[in-house]
Chain A
């Protein structure tokens, strides 16, 4: 059933008891044309585009927990595409273009809000780096503009721009098309859209092995609910990618770290945009519910614990209170952590692997939510054609051997 004003009204007349389930809970079939491991936004997006755009509908998405319960449901939802290198600008802007119109395409409100992402500069190095990004972005057709300190404050009134501030604001780079979206809705919208096209979504079913034939090619996956055959397997397991890849005998250039976020008690609208400060490591926006959504940094050690240390949060809140003194008496409601898979150059790996029939989408680290529609589309393309799209071709696994890095780590120091 479509979501529409008419159906909302018709359902209201029957106490909303007639809405059908949005995606059925499926038992696995014996064989699929393609299997996606991991029902995060990326994996569900890949399944949706395989079915809607690339004509492969006999697809299963296999998830060890519940769909959207990984980093998709744990992130601070910042969307932007103002990355330095050409390859990254194309990759992330491909996604931002898909965010436009996604609610209409899925008939599901993903609440993409172009409220603008303002990245603050606190010192001369920040200013130079921001301006370099702005120029590079413009050459790639990605919007990004420089604001003076006064313009930053006009755009974001709670900002403290006094010269005596602990972290003085010298200006900022603003991407107006940047913003936020509702994380759960993205997973739910893709799940509903994919299920309607015949994709099976199988939850509470961890993949425990990847079976390979004598020729080395994949034959299917072992799961908690038995063997499921498929000649094409796309792994989109974020923080658990190394573990899944080892099932196929592959060691990956990844390390998994806890990354935390937190929200405050809900308050009336006070914060109109997204503000990021890379040099003091703080990210903040306000959700439509009214909570301040704050992103913290990663812990320093490899972990799969899905929680992080308190001193990391303390550090972030100290920075937030310095930059926005108005929030110093705000109470925090919840903190949580996700496990992010980080590559040596902080750019994702999206493409084929040395194992025939095995494809991977990983390494999005601290900043892959913004790429959800794009990563889904490109993973689907790569699986359907057994070859990458030209946008994701540079993000191959080989670059760690050839040295052709896409070094956003050096360019930005962090990626969100």
Chain B
């Protein structure tokens, strides 16, 4: 089980308190009706799925309830850092 540092609670808590929210920093289309099918595909379904450094969202659902972002290595599962939503990608 992962130990995850919630940047709001400022505590390391067990993974079962969190839900993973998938890849981070995916921008919602500003003007949805002008998006092409290919843009929609990219936004909704194409994922980086990297082997290595990965930006992802977590939600501290059984804690403060807030979304935040993390950088984790997907081979070792080790967290490099976690940071508050809205902060630029680390």
Size of chain A's interface in residues, with CB distance under 8 A?
22
The yes or no answer to B1 lying at the interface (CB within 8 A) is yes
Nearest 7 CB-CB pairings of A with B: A242-B49, A253-B45, A401-B41, A300-B20, A400-B45, A301-B20, A309-B1
Minimum CB distance partner of B76 in chain A:
A305
Does B38 interact with chain A (Cβ within 8 Å)? yes
Residues of A within 8 A of B1 (CB): 309-311
CA distance A305 to B52 in the complex (A): 10
**Is B84 part of the contact surface with A, judged by Cβ < 8 Å?**
no
Q: Which residues of B contact A243 (CB under 8 A)?
A: 49-51
Q: Mark B25-49, 1 if CB is under 8 A from A, else 0.
A: 0000000000001101110111111
* A401 cross-chain contacts in B, Cβ below 8 A: 37-38, 40-41
Residues of A within 8 A of B23 (CB): 302
Say yes or no: A256 contacts B49, CB within 8 Å: yes
A255 contacts the other chain (CB 8 A)? yes
Instruction: Count how many chain B residues have C-beta atoms less than 8 Å from C-beta atoms of the other chain.
Output: 28
Please tell me if A344 contacts chain B, counting CB pairs below 8 Å.
yes
B12 in contact (CB, < 8 A): no
Residues B49 and A309 in contact, CB atoms below 8 Å apart: no
Say yes or no for A251: interface residue by CB 8 A criterion.
yes
Q: Is the CB of B41 within 8 A of A253?
A: yes
A191 to B40, CA, bound (A): 41
Is B80 in the interface zone, CB < 8 Å from A?
no
Taking CB atoms, residues of chain B closer than 8 Å to A251 are: 42, 46-48
Judging by beta carbons under 8 Å apart, are A303 and B77 in contact? yes
Decide yes or no whether A218 CB sits under 8 A from chain B.
no
A:223-274 near B, CB below 8 Å: 240, 242-243, 251-256
